[in-house]
Amino acid sequence: MRDLYEILGVDKGASKDELKRAYRNIAKKYHPDRNPDNKEAEQKFKEAAEAYAALNDDNKRAKYDQFGHAGVGMGDMGGQGFDGMHFSMEDIFSQFGSIFGGRHPFEDIFGMGGGTTQSARSGYRKAKDLRVSLQLEFIDILNGTEKTIKIKRNETCKTCDGSGAKQGTHPTQCKQCNGSGQVRQVRQSFFGQSVVVTDCPLCHGSGEFIENPCSSCNGSGIRRETVSIKVKVPKGVENGNYMTLDRQGNKGGKGIQPGDLLVFFEEKPHEYFVRNGTDIILEAHIEIAQAVLGDSITVPTIDGKASLKIPKGMQSGQVLRMRGKGLPRLRSNYRGDQLIRIIVEIPTSLSKQEKNLYNELDKISGSKNPSFNKMEL
């Protein structure tokens, strides 16, 4: 058995915060949602949960420090399951609630994204999550915004209050499963008898029988409706970030938890500005005289016009940086920069006067030979 501190990658003297941080990192890395069907990851995930549970308990930690694995009931001889030290995946997921806070530890823009929700694993019935995408302009990303989105989702039928039964009547207990929603079937197989528990075929797991169905929802207890939902978008979000609105997805019938609403953010491309992380890239075309002599130009930024100094001797292709004129970083006061790539325009048609002046310049500057990085011809 591996040393518990080693499993979490911490020192013997690690504080509780350090333990928690270490465990959280390992749990994220080996989370089954990110490692589907990976037995090794699952093993590491479990191992870390067990190590954390033992070390986070002062009493157990002291015993472990003194007696090793046997002290916390994890010894090879110590018998499995003693003191609850061997965890099932369900145990670990229920433990997440307290460590990560919330039912969706990995499912929001501040986390890492994931697949199945914990609720599905803990076994309670939950209606389907909904996904929508929300288009954002740069200005929304700059300032954060509140948007109202319209979505179609299953709503509890108001006529029957989700029961599915006609007004004035009530659902009765399903006769086949006696209200439990589940039936046991004994199956004969080559290996002998086995008992299989399945959803009741008559009531589909609800445990209820509806004699007179509600006419608004045909007995389902739910209706499809369009609802408006306010979404508070924090500043600094990026393409692909998403937010989980708890219980704002489909509503289920009676006894079923509402699903969640996942709002994915989508950036509308800007006509001129190009986003690169928190920086914004823009091209500016200037004339030869401006590049040679230097100038001050007015440039658009996402929060209005700003002035930019062109130093004299500006080369075509060089980039000027306007600090703090980019986009904010999520959950931070940092703002990126605006990068202006300077393109010096070479005129393709000249007036007579301009042509004379260029000729004049040419005579003054002398040498006709191009330079090849000082290479001798």
Which residues of the shown chain bind Zn ion in the complex (CB under 5 A)?
A: 157, 159-160, 174, 176-177, 200, 202-203, 214, 216-217
Nearer to Zn ion, 205 or 336 (CB): 205
Nearer to Zn ion, 177 or 342 (CB): 177
Q: How far is the CB of 227 from Zn ion (least distance, A)?
A: 17
Judging by beta carbons within 10 Å of its beta carbon (0-12, 13-18, 19+), is residue 235 exposed, middle or buried? middle
State which residue, 22 or 217, has the beta carbon closest to Zn ion: 217
Distance CA 234, CA 144 (A): 5
Q: How far is the CB of 178 from Zn ion (least distance, A)?
A: 8
Q: Minimum distance from CB of 127 to Zn ion (Å)? A: 16
In degrees rounded to 5, what are phi and psi of residue 347?
A: -65, 140
CA 280 to the chain's CA centroid: 23
Identify whether the C-beta of residue 136 lies closer than 8 Å to the C-beta of residue 266: yes
Compute the least distance from the CB of residue 332 to Zn ion, in Å: 48
CB of 250 to Zn ion, least distance (A): 16
Residue number with CB closer to Zn ion (253 or 336): 253
> Judged by CB, which is closer to Zn ion: 56, or 216?
216
Nearer to Zn ion, 169 or 216 (CB): 216
Query: Phi and psi of 189, rounded to 5°?
Result: -140, 180
The dihedral through the CA atoms of 236, 241, 246, 249 has a sign that is positive
Pairing of β 261-267 and β 130-136: parallel
Burial 188-206 (b: 16+ CB within 10 A, else e): eeeeeeeeeeeebebbebb
* Cα-based torsion angle of the residue sequence 72, 77, 82, 84 in order, rounded to the nearest 10 degrees: 60
Provide the 8-state DSSP code for 191. Answer: T
Kindly tell me the burial class for residue 84, based on how many C-beta atoms sit within 10 Å of its own C-beta (0-12, 13-18, 19 or more): exposed
Q: Between residues 95 and 176, which has the closer beta carbon with respect to Zn ion? A: 176
Tell the smallest beta-carbon distance from residue 195 to Zn ion (Å): 17
- Torsion (CA) 186, 188, 194, 196 in degrees, nearest 10: -50
CB of 197 vs Zn ion, minimal distance in Å: 13
- Our CB check for Zn ion shows the closer of 149 and 202 to be 202
Name which of 195 and 364 has its Cβ closer to Zn ion. 195
Report in angstroms the alpha-carbon separations of 306 from 29, 35, 244, 285, 309: 44, 48, 37, 16, 10
What is the C-alpha separation between 310 and 297, in angstroms, rounded? Answer: 7
CB of 222 to Zn ion, least distance (A): 8
Per-residue CA distances from 41 to 44, 75, 89, 115, 116 (Å):
5, 22, 12, 16, 16
Proportion of the chain in helix, strand, coil states, percent, rounded to 5: 25, 30, 45
- Nearest approach in angstroms of CB 203 to Zn ion is 3
